[in-house]
Amino acid sequence: MDSHGEATNDPAVSWRAVVEIVQALALAVVISVVLNLFVVQVTEVRQRSMELTLEQDDRVLVSKLDYLFGQPNAGDIVVFDPPGPGSTIPFVKRVIAVGGDTIDLRDGDVFVNGNRVEIPQARGRTLPQVGTVAFPFLVPEGQVFVLGDNRQLSSDSRSFGPVPVRNIVGKVVMCFWPATRIVFFDW
């Protein structure tokens, strides 16, 4: 009703509101896609290989920017596309050695360039696995050697070999779910 008590029908106002809402939703979708493709991604941990650092079914935030401007470092927890055909579930593992490093496994311990590596979160002895890797092993340039923190339940570089850096999706920066396990990884 207008000021004279007559009914008004102004469809332009309602269509304008609908168009603005659709534009806002479309912009939100574009921003979300761009963020997911180039900046961050949410990944579900599907394996038990990183227990107790990350539990199966944890949700983690993965930074894709870190490796656009730099290379992975020993100690980084990374998400990467699995090697070889068959599996499409992303793997989550810890970088132990980078290209040019020599890794060795002796008496259940890990050595990189002759120095024993201490990962406080790692549990279990680190023994060789059946695979293509013979120790000591020189990590090729452009690749990384990864291990799960739960060494006895992890399928990792001991069995499938080093991971090309190009296969790495990004670096885990935060575990945000479940809410009782929120952890920021300080790199």
Instruction: Tell me which residues are annotated as active site.
Output: 49, 93
* CA pair distance 118, 21, nearest whole angstrom: 54
**What residue spans of 39-186 are helical by DSSP H?**
66-69, 157-160
Location of structure tokens 């870190």: 66
Location of structure tokens 């009782």: 180
Element (H, E) at 158: helix 157-160
Token representation of residue 17 = 């509101």
Of how many residues is the chain composed? Answer: 187
* Strands 183-184 and 168-177, bridge-based pairing: antiparallel
